[in-house]
Structure formats: C-alpha cells, structure tokens
Amino acid sequence: MAIIENPLELESGTVVEVAERPLGALTRPSGNTGWASWLFTVDHKRIGIMYGAFAMFFFLIGGLEALAIRLQLAVPNGKILSPEVYNQVFTMHGVTMIFLVIMPLAAAFANYLLPLQIGARDVAFPRMNALSLWVFVAGGFFLCSSLFIGGWFKNVPNGGWFNYAPNSGTLFSPTQGIDFYAVGLQILGIASLVSAINLIVTTLNMRAEGMTLMRMPVLTWMLLVVQFLLLFALPVITVALFLLMFDRLWGANFFNVEMGADPLLWQHLFWIFGHPEVYILILPSFGIISEVIPVFSRKPIFGYSFMVGSGIAIGFLGWGVWAHHMFVSGLGPISVAAFSVSTMMIAVPTGVKILNWVATMWGGKIRLTTAMLFAVGVVSMFTIGGLSGVTHSVSVADTQQTDTYYIVAHFHYVIFGGALLGIFSGFYFWWPKMFGYKLNEKWGKWNFWLQIVGFNLTFGPMHILGLQGMSRRIDSYDPGYGFETWNLVSSIGSFVIFFGVLIFIINIFVSKKQAEHLPPVGPDPWDARSLEWMTASPTPEHNFDEDIVVDSLDHFWHQKYGYDDDGNVVRIAYAEDVAQDGSNDNVHLPSPSYWPLVLSAGLPFIGYGVIYNYWLCAIGGFLVLGAIFGWIFEPPDDPDGGHGHHDDHGDDGDGHSADSSDADDSAEKTDDDLVSVGADTAEAGDAATTETTATAGEADNG
Amino acid sequence: MAEAVLDSAVHAADDDHGHSTGTGISNNKLAMWVFLGSECLLFGGLISTYLLYRHNIQDGPGPSEEFFDIPFTSASSFVLLMSSLTMVLAHYAAERGDNRKLKIWLLTTALLGSVFVAGQIYEFTVFVEEGLGWSTSPFSSAFYALTGFHGVHVTIGIIMLLSTFISAVRGRMHPGNAETVEIVGLYWHFVDIVWVFIFTVIYLAA
C-alpha cells in the first residue's frame, strides 16, 4: 500500500477560513463538535447515522401503533379503538413502517456504507445528501403531525397505505387525513429521489481505482439496484399522488366515479410503484446479509456473479408483476395469466439468492454471532414469506386469499422477517465500525431470540386466520368463528417482539458503558472482507487516509490471507497492519452547509399551506427559494480553489489545475508501490477460488 | 426536485472539477441524465392517464379538430422546437468561449420558451371560455394536468436559462464551465422531446 505524502483532496474541500463573503451574511458553518455540527453536516456517515436515529424514532411510533392494533384484536369485540381510529392506526402503521422506517433504515446503511465500500471519501453531492436526510425528516414529521392536528386522531390518513380510489375521495374520506397522505408522501418522495440520483452517480463515478463494477460488494450492488428502482418508481407514485391531490383539493376528476372516472387508474399507478417498492424494501437486506454470511462462515460469497445477476434480475422483473395485487379487480383472464406467470418467474432469482446463502454457509466455519443469527433468520423467515408469496401468484388461490390475514402474514414475513431482521443483522455487524464498540452478544442473543420467537408467534397464526377467512382491516370480530385462540397468540407475540426491540435499545447503552472497560475494537473486529473495515473504527471523518487501489473482489481479505505451499489458507498479515489508522488529518472535506436544512424546513409549510391556507405556502416558498439562493451563492469550499479571487460559483478554473497534477503524481506512486503487493494478492485471489467451489466471477482475475 | 436540478445545473462547478470519473461523464452531467430518466416515468404516467381519459368527456368539449386550434398549437410547437436549435448554438458558443454569442443564444432560447408558455396560457384561456374547465370531465382534468406539468417544466427551464444568462453577463462563463450550459441544454432538449410526444398524443391524434 502506497503512502501518499501529499494531502489528498476531495472534489470539494473544506474552508478553514472563508476568504470572501458574498452578499455579506452568506458564510458556511464550521466546527466539528456540538449539535450544529450534526445539523449542518454534509458528512455521509453522520447523515447515515441520523437517518438511522430518526428511523428508529419512527419505528417506536409505528411499533406502538402495531401494539394498539394487536390489543384491539386480542379478544373478540375489542373496545380499545373505535372503528374510525382503528382505520387511522392501521394506515399509519403501514405508512410509517414502510416510508419512515424500512426505507430510511436502508438509506442509513446506504449512506454510511456505500461510499466506504467503493473506497470513496464521500458521495458525489454531499449537500444534496444532507438535503435528502432533512427532507425525509420534514416529511416524516409532517405525516406524523396529522396524528394530533385538529385534535388527536381527527385528520389522520385512514385509507390504508395503498389508499384505493374512490374511497380516498372527499366523498368517502372527508377529513384532511388523505391530504396529509398525498402531500406527505410527495415530500418523502423528493427525499428518496434526490438520494437515488446522488447514490447512483456516486456508485458509477466515485469508485476507487481498480474497483470495477464486478468487484463491488454485493451490498453495494443491491443498493445500486434499489436506487434505480426508486428512480423509476417514485415518479409514478408522484403522478398518482398529484392526481389525488388535484381531485381532493381542486376538484379534478381523476378518480371521481360520478364523472365517469376509472378508479382502477389509482390501483395501476399505485402498484406500478408499489411492487418495485417491495424490492426497494427487501434488496438492501439481501445485500446486508450477503456481507454478514460470508464473514461469519469464513468463506467467500457463493456465486458472486449470480448473486449480483439475480439482484439485477429481481430489479427488472419487479416491474412486470404489479397486477398480481389486482387479481380480483376484474382485469380479465389474459392479464391475470400473464401476471401469474411473471410472478412465478420472479421467484427464480430470489430462490437463487437463498440457495447461494445456504451454499455460502455450507461447509463454512460458522460463528453464530448475533449478526449471523439475524442473517440466518432472514434466510429462513424470508423463505417462508417467499413461499407464501408464490401461492399468491396462483391466481385461483389468490382469489381466496385476497384481503384476508393470509396476505398480512405473507408481507410481514417478507418485510419484517426479511427486511427488518436483515437491518438488525446490519446493526450488530456494523455497529463497531460506526460507533467504535461492539454490541453485547449476550443481550444481542436475547434480542434475537425474543424477536424471532415473537415474530413467529405474531405472524405465523395469521396464515391460519387468513385461511379460516378472517378479513384484513376489520376493527373487531365476533366470537364463535374460531378466530379467538390465534388472535390471542398473535397479540401475545407482538408484545414479545416489543420486548425484543426494547432489549436492543437497552443493549446500545449497556454496551457503550461496558466498552469503556474493554480494549478498542480495532479496524476489523469480525475478520471481514470489504473496504470499510480497512479504516479505523469508528470511521474517521475523511474515511481513508490514502486512496485504496483495489485489485480483486474482497480486496481487504486478500490482503490478510494467502496460501502456504500445500494450498491451505494462512494469515499473511494482521488487519491492523493492512488497515489504515485514520491518522491523516490533512484531508480536505466539504464544508457543512445551512441550506439543505432551511430548504427542507420550507417543504412542510408548503404542505400545510396547500391543505389549510395558501399563505403558509408563501412562507414555505420563501424558505425554499431563499435556501436555493443561499445554496448557490454559498462560498466555495475548495481551499485550493484560489483564495482571494474565486467567485461564488466555486472555482473550477486555474486554481485547480495545479492540484490535478499533484493528484496524478500520487496516483503514479501508488501504482509503482503496488506492484509487489498486487502479485501476492493475485495468488491469493486465484487460490481462493480453488479452496471452495465458489467462483467469484471475473473479479478474481487479480 | 426542480430546486435541486436548478441548483445542480446552475451550480455545476461545485462538486466536480473534471477529475476522471468512473463513467467518464462528470457527476453533474450524469446526475442530470439520471434525473431525466426519472422524468420519463413522470410524463409516462401523465400521458397514460390522458390516454385513458381521452374520450371521457362527459358534457364538455372533447379532443377534436374543431375544438383544438391545431395551426396555432403547431406554430407554438415550432417555436419550442426551434429553441432547441438556439440551445445547441448557445452550447457551441459556450464551448468556444464566445461570451457574446452565448448571451445572445441563451436569451433567445429563453424568449422562445417564454413565447411557448405564453401561447399555452392563451390557449388555456380560450379553452376555458369555450367550456373546457378544469373540473368539466376526466378528459379536461387529464388534459390540463399533462400540458400544465409540461408548462411548469418549460418554465423551470426558462429560469435555468436566465440564471445561466446572468452568469454569462457577469462574466462567469468560460470554456472551463461550458458544461453548465450543456446540462441546462440536456434538460431543455428533454422538455422539447416530451412536447413532441404530448403534441402527437393530444393534438395530432384528435
């Protein structure tokens, strides 16, 4: 590994002192400590952590809503929630868990890990990254504010997360609840779209030298696929939400059946978004466990290129299955048959992934850490969810299952058992990298077992309830239909889950306290494989002291392990020797900025404005426009961009050419120094393929 | 979203300085391409909605040759398409560092775009007078939503053009950041191409 003497530059660097203050007041915030350093940060790692923290806050809200639902249904004729409130609670439970919990938790991992895994210093557009975070937070609080605006549970969305027309029209939903849904999801869509563009450009453009696409970790690949799904799915729901908003607020006729409109339009638009959305939720978890399982099986991922390929295939096929949500809407036999077949087809790449995870574990030296337990939990629980999903693809069976608890069971096995357990696996796995200490394994195992047992107790019986004919979304049921026992079991299970999550939260604090008496975790506590473990824990602000030049898939692992004369794997270096210690404080980073936060703050005003009073739109518009101008006229953050003569558009002219030549020099040095190292790792790479039957595709050509 | 795009286009020089990138395309330009990919689906959804409701006219006027003023809309469409030509000339001038021509062509493009938007507003007022209100029928809602979304996109494009024009007036444009003009141009051409589809679907198919 070459040592580069010159300070490395990021595309945009930090401003130590602002040389010029255009328009007087426009400076950039500075400082690395205190609350302001979090509010105005553009560091992808802090943004990732905040994504996670806000999502966990919303997780508690969504979880309490779930408990309220289960309390209501624990016994026949539940009296805890009125039917009106029940509708609002189950709607908000769904919307919260999907848009405010799973998606942002995936975004947390994407933001934190994606740049690290490709060896980059930050994302392509750091300020836009901060914008995504704060727009998400603004949209989340906007949506949740409906819980109490105008009185508790008066104006909460109540049409289900799918919000079918014509029930969503003003005739059947006269409160402002659906307006909050329509506007809130649009705000959240902006956040996801900005983030998708940013991460796509980051992945395609900012990879370290040698990090070809087929050397990217599976997690990076899955996140890239997810960003493309977001990119193309969000505009479709945006259209649907706009049309709904036009109908409700300004009397348009898109879903107005009285005027001959076709309510199926909503279903089509919604599910063209909604089904890719399912893969948006699940693929990040697939990526996470594809990192966790190889590390704790001490084997490379089985069939890397198949893993990547099947992820891409899921991304493509995900667009051709939306109408399986609409089998009972009278589509006609040809459509139903076509979508049945496409739905069965998408089980193939998913099955490939499951078999590959199993094959990765097969014959491996498995360490059952909490992270690994959660990952195995995903493989098994998702398989159940996937199998019940295949039963939906058989349209005759689906006709019986539609709108029963069988569906509820299915998608909870997929989204809770797949997506959420995977995210918990990621928590335990990357916690030391993010915060510098490991989560306690003993508490972690309690966390896992309570969660998995509670999960199966809650959602397993719902299969039976559904097949017995219990409808979804009913606020109560009469005794005597055979629903009592399983509903009670399910409700007990939900409280077991609650205690599991509680233990996770306790674990965070317990582990932090214990870590004070433990040695530091070091860069690579799990003996892992990807680049994020090549730098100190917690990750220093500049990520890497020096640019990494990648020469194989699992580059880091090949730095640590080689082969003796008999072809056995032997350690050739300790992680501490290979990894960087994070001591380089000469790296210039982008300066923090006020404007992403200000811009985001304007959006809820516009939201409340269109619902209640257009004057609020003016305030919001003022904030947004002001923020855009502030953003544009913000001083440049490139310290080498020429102090004294730069303009407010950032200096990309002569000031920079000198740096580029420096960068070229250092790149050359890096190449030279790497010759010897490269030879070793090439061997290691080849031998790795023979050691196990796994092939790493073209990536291992070293 | 519009804000962010406006920003990334006008502020093209911020995050990328022409370092070699993975794709060989600068971050800003790639971001615009990716964003336009997303926009395709936005207009795809709106056009589908229009096609669904094209004949659902209730008691109001419908999409017919008599109702639309096709020569008028053709003329304003021609104006919009010509603005793509002037946009290309602006980009060409920017690459050569010809600041005078750059200013002329940017302003011309913005003016042509404004003529188009003005024509659209005029057309809307005529339609409303003839009895095609926003709430008249599913057709009318879909018509105004589709053309209105496009009009807003053109308007945002005009703002981007004028911002670039102001930069040029203040002497900020030079061959080193000609890409800014190119990125604004990408957006502008996209909006024009979308209009070709919309014009075909709404007016020529009438």
Mutate: best of A11, A200, A204, A205, partner B, most B CBs <10 A? A205
Measured between alpha carbons, how far is B67 from B47 in angstroms, rounded to an integer?
20
Strands (E), A132-262: none
pLDDT of residue A35: 84
Strands (E), A460-519: none
**More confident of the two residues A15 and A272:** A272
Measured between alpha carbons, how far is A180 from A608 in angstroms, rounded to an integer?
8
Which among A124, A236, A624 has CB closest to B15? A124
Strands A561-563 and A569-571: antiparallel
Mean pLDDT of B18-41: 90
Chain B closest-CA separation from residue A213 CA (Å):
10
pLDDT of residue A302: 96
pLDDT of residue A425: 98
Chain A / chain B CB contacts < 8 angstroms: 163
Complex ipTM value: 0.90
pLDDT of residue A636: 65
Q: Is A26 left (phi over 0), alpha (psi -120 to 50) or beta?
A: beta
pLDDT of residue A576: 87
For residue range A299-315, list pLDDT tens digits in order.
999 999 999 999 999 99
Chain A closest-CA separation from residue B106 CA (Å):
19
For the cut 60, the answer to whether the pLDDT of residue A51 exceeds it is yes
Measured between alpha carbons, how far is A496 from A121 in angstroms, rounded to an integer?
41
Q: For A562, list phi and psi in degrees, rounded to 5.
A: -135, -155
pLDDT of residue A698: 31
For residue range A523-557, list pLDDT tens digits in order.
999 999 999 999 999 999 999 998 899 999 999 99
Residue B121 contacts by C-beta under 8 Å, 6 or more apart in sequence?
B151
Binary contact (B134, A200; C-beta < 8 A): no
CB < 8 Å to A235, chain B = 38-42, 44-45
Query: Is B100 an interface residue toward A (CB < 8 Å)?
Result: no
Mutate: best of A259, A588, A661, partner B, most B CBs <10 A? A259
Closest CA to A253 of B147, B25, B52: B52
Measured between alpha carbons, how far is B92 from A141 in angstroms, rounded to an integer?
47
Query: Is A419 an interface residue toward B (CB < 8 Å)?
Result: no
Share of residues in chain A with pLDDT > 90 (%): 78
Mean pLDDT of A497-503: 97
Per-residue confidence band for A634, with pLDDT thresholds at 50, 70 and 90:
confident
Contact in structure between A463 and A476 (CB atoms under 8 Å): no
Residue A648 C-beta-side C-alpha neighbours within 13 Å: 17
Measured between alpha carbons, how far is A205 from B27 in angstroms, rounded to an integer?
7
For the cut 70, the answer to whether the pLDDT of residue A455 exceeds it is yes
Query: Is A133 an interface residue toward B (CB < 8 Å)?
Result: no
Measured between alpha carbons, how far is A619 from A701 in angstroms, rounded to an integer?
58
Binary contact (A260, B56; C-beta < 8 A): yes
Measured between alpha carbons, how far is B22 from A660 in angstroms, rounded to an integer?
16
Instruction: Tell me the torsion sign for CA atoms A461, A463, A464, A469.
Output: positive
H helix count then E strand count, chain B:
6, 0
Q: For A569, list phi and psi in degrees, rounded to 5.
A: -70, 130
pLDDT of residue A568: 87
Chain B, nearest residue to A191 by Cα: B1
Judged by DSSP in three states, A563 sits in: strand
For the cut 80, the answer to whether the pLDDT of residue A693 exceeds it is no
pLDDT of residue A599: 96
Contact in structure between A213 and A312 (CB atoms under 8 Å): no
Residue type at position A361: M
User: Mean of the per-residue pLDDT values for chain B?
Assistant: 89
Contact in structure between A654 and B13 (CB atoms under 8 Å): no
Contact in structure between A185 and A99 (CB atoms under 8 Å): yes
Residues 141-170 of chain B with CB under 8 A from chain A are: 141-142, 145, 167
Chain A closest-CA separation from residue B26 CA (Å):
8
CB < 8 Å to B31, chain A = 124-125, 197-198, 201
CB < 8 Å to A253, chain B = 135-138, 140-141
A444: tokens are: 């972690």
User: Cα separations (Å) of A127 from A52, A82, A595, A624, B150?
Assistant: 18, 45, 8, 15, 28
For residue range A10-43, list pLDDT tens digits in order.
444 443 344 444 444 457 777 667 888 899 999 9
A245: tokens are: 């908003």
User: Which DSSP string corresponds to A182-207?
Assistant: HHHHHHHHHHHHHHHHHHHHHHHH-P
Share of residues in chain B with pLDDT > 90 (%): 79
Share of residues in chain A with pLDDT > 70 (%): 86
pLDDT of residue A688: 35
pLDDT of residue B45: 97
Mean pLDDT of B55-66: 90
CB < 8 Å to B21, chain A = 204-206
- The C-alpha angle B36, B32, B51, rounded to 5 degrees, equals 10
- Domains observed in chain A: 44-540 (1.20.210.10)
Measured between alpha carbons, how far is A617 from A114 in angstroms, rounded to an integer?
36
Measured between alpha carbons, how far is A493 from A459 in angstroms, rounded to an integer?
8
For the cut 60, the answer to whether the pLDDT of residue A628 exceeds it is yes
Chain A closest-CA separation from residue B196 CA (Å):
20
Binary contact (B176, A252; C-beta < 8 A): no
For residue range A637-657, list pLDDT tens digits in order.
544 443 333 333 333 333 333
β-bridge mates for residue A570, sequence order: A562
Cβ neighbours of A77 (radius 10 Å): 10
For the cut 60, the answer to whether the pLDDT of residue A435 exceeds it is yes
Mean pLDDT of A168-181: 95
- Domains observed in chain B: 2-11+21-52+68-204 (1.20.120.80)
Closest CA to A653 of A662, A663, A664, A642: A642
A554: tokens are: 């699992």
User: Which DSSP string corresponds to B81-133?
Assistant: HHHHHHHHHHHHHHHHT-HHHHHHHHHHHHHHHHHHHHHHHHHHHHHHHTT--
Mean pLDDT of B184-192: 97
Mean pLDDT of A141-158: 94
Instruction: Give the CA dihedral A546, A551, A557, A563, nearest 10 degrees.
Output: -130
Mutate: best of B6, B11, B15, B179, partner A, most A CBs <10 A? B15
pLDDT of residue A529: 94
User: Cα separations (Å) of A588 from A7, A119, A272?
Assistant: 8, 16, 43
pLDDT of residue A26: 59
